[in-house]
Amino acid sequence: MPVQPTIRVQKDDFDALAESKSLTEGRQDVGAVVTFTGLCRDEAGTLSALELEHYPGMAEAELSRIATEAVARWPLTGLSVIHRYGKIKPGENIVLVVASSAHRRAAFEAADFLMDFLKTRAPFWKKEHPVSGRASVWVEAKAADDTDAARWKNT
Amino acid sequence: MPVQPTIRVQKDDFDALAESKSLTEGRQDVGAVVTFTGLCRDEAGTLSALELEHYPGMAEAELSRIATEAVARWPLTGLSVIHRYGKIKPGENIVLVVASSAHRRAAFEAADFLMDFLKTRAPFWKKEHPVSGRASVWVEAKAADDTDAARWKNT
Amino acid sequence: MIIRYFAWVRERVGTDEETIELPETVQTVADLIGHLKTLDANHAAAFAEEDAIRVAVDQLHVETDAKIGSAREIAFFPPMTGG
Amino acid sequence: MIIRYFAWVRERVGTDEETIELPETVQTVADLIGHLKTLDANHAAAFAEEDAIRVAVDQLHVETDAKIGSAREIAFFPPMTGG
């Protein structure tokens, strides 16, 4: 039977190691753990904070649907997805995916798949608040994200 | 200029979070961190411990060569590889790869690439010590590992 | 019918949620968009770039040809940018 | 010439390292394997399955047709199983 994924949508930061440990501690059937952490980036030094808006209810539901597809598709021993909302400063965490499996290929592919679909399907929107007094702007979706998600259709 | 990878071959366990933090703390140019942790697996409950033998000097050198190729190939902001040797019990860590980048695709691919080449090129050998009094046996290399490594030739 | 708006669609409409009586002619999401555009200038502006808007019916992604049926909640928002 | 052995190659040879005088006829790694096999039964057993053995010259992977040249250290071992 596929594992039950852990899904959390929260304002607070997460602890990647604790989430990873909860998928491995006390068991001996896990050979590979892949964690993906997405962080708030600001190479130009012009960003005060990102504001993450989400659709409460649907955000959790959609992440669950993506995670359920991943555990059906790969032989995972565990899968956790945590996405933050609210104001997030440069250098802070935004999203965490942890996938564990007996074998590394499944763990890598599941985490990669999860992020591609999360980007295109999970109802979150980023608004950039600049450091100067200028107006904040909504981040535009990237065509590359759709291309990334489409990779999984032929595999 | 490509980043300088961190390579360590050690008997002691590692702290995945500390290694990950050292690639992100105090900077704002990292958008994605992928960590891969390989653990000692024992689904059948017949394993007392793995013994990891390595070729001192060449192990570090070969990991450095693989890591140098990865940082030349992907726009990484950081790359760390830690491989343990000695006796490792079921459930314990064996290997850690942490790849960070502005974008998730580079971090995923570099970590995946690193593990594929580490498996086929880094001079480490696993011996299984069974729980019963039976003789210990050397783990055999898998053809799948060569196939995995060959994936990167056409990309 | 509860209509919810997110991100810049919410900002242009000027509210995050409203309850609207639907005329019987509104059968699909596309019909609903057509109806919403007639409500006022804010709605018209929000839906001016129809191609840039995504829809969820009862928290499930759908295309604009989807039937509304007995849905309780329909949400409009731009392409997602989480992760 | 320092010759090093790892994993089951080491166990079959019975030592992890030895220093060997090479005859002038030994020019390549393949020549060296041929020579080592003549030393005693342990070496012969270790190199019986030649295809299963990998080689490093001065800590770099090579094929068996590689020239030995002025190498300081040659290592023999099974396919790697780390990670």
In chain D, % of residues over pLDDT 70: 100
**A-to-B residue pairs, Cβ atoms closer than 8 angstroms:** 109
Calculate mean pLDDT across residues B47-71: 98
The string of pLDDT tens digits covering residues A60-101 is 999 999 999 999 999 999 999 999 999 999 999 999 999 999
Nearest CA in chain D to B56: D59
Residue D82 has its nearest CB partner, among B118, B138, B140, at B118
In chain B, % of residues over pLDDT 90: 86
Residue A147: predicted pLDDT: 87
Amino acid, single-letter form, for residue B103: H
Mean pLDDT of chain D: 97
Calculate mean pLDDT across residues C9-37: 97
Contacts of B53 in chain D (CB under 8 A): 6-7
Is D83 close to B139, i.e. CB distance below 8 A? Answer: no
Q: Is the per-residue pLDDT at B154 higher than 80?
A: no
What is the rounded CA–CA span in Å between residue A131 and residue A129? 7
Residues B44 and B113: beta-carbon distance below 8 Å: no
**Residue B155 pLDDT grade (very low, low, confident, very high; cuts 50, 70, 90):** low
Q: How many CB atoms lie within 10 A of CB A123?
A: 26
Q: Is the per-residue pLDDT at B108 higher than 90?
A: yes
Report the candidate in A8, A31, A52, C16 with the shortest Cα–Cα distance to residue D81: A31
β-sheet with B137-138: strand ranges across: B86-88, B47-54, B124-130, B137-138
Structural domain count of chain A: 1
Task: Kindly tell me the sign of the dihedral angle through the C-alpha atoms of D48, D50, D53, D58.
Answer: positive
Contacts of C79 in chain A (CB under 8 A): 120, 140-141
Amino acid, single-letter form, for residue A142: K
What is the rounded CA–CA span in Å between residue B52 and residue D15? 18
Cβ–Cβ contact D75 with B under 8 A? yes
Q: Is the per-residue pLDDT at B30 higher than 80?
A: yes
Per-domain residue ranges of chain D: 2-77
Cβ–Cβ contact A132 with B under 8 A? no
Residue B36, SS3 per DSSP:
strand
The string of pLDDT tens digits covering residues A124-152 is 999 999 998 889 999 999 888 888 889 99
Residue D7 has its nearest CB partner, among B53, B83, B120, at B53
Write out the two tokens for A14.
């997460």
Q: Which residues form the domain of B52?
A: 6-154
Is A28 close to B41, i.e. CB distance below 8 A? Answer: yes
Cβ–Cβ contact D69 with B under 8 A? no
Cβ–Cβ contact A58 with C under 8 A? yes
Asked whether residue A1 is assigned to any structural domain, the reply reads no
Is A111 close to B111, i.e. CB distance below 8 A? Answer: no
> Domain containing B135 — which CATH number?
3.90.1170.40
Report the candidate in D59, D49, D77, D80 with the shortest Cα–Cα distance to residue B126: D80
Contacts of A140 in chain C (CB under 8 A): 79, 81
In chain A, % of residues over pLDDT 70: 99
Structural class in CATH, domain C2-77: alpha beta
Asked whether residue A16 is assigned to any structural domain, the reply reads yes
Q: Is the per-residue pLDDT at B6 higher than 60?
A: yes
Residue B147: predicted pLDDT: 87
Asked whether residue B1 is assigned to any structural domain, the reply reads no
Q: Which residues pair with D76 in a beta bridge?
A: D5, D55
What is the rounded CA–CA span in Å between residue B27 and residue B35? 18
Report the candidate in D49, D46, D52, D35 with the shortest Cα–Cα distance to residue D12: D46
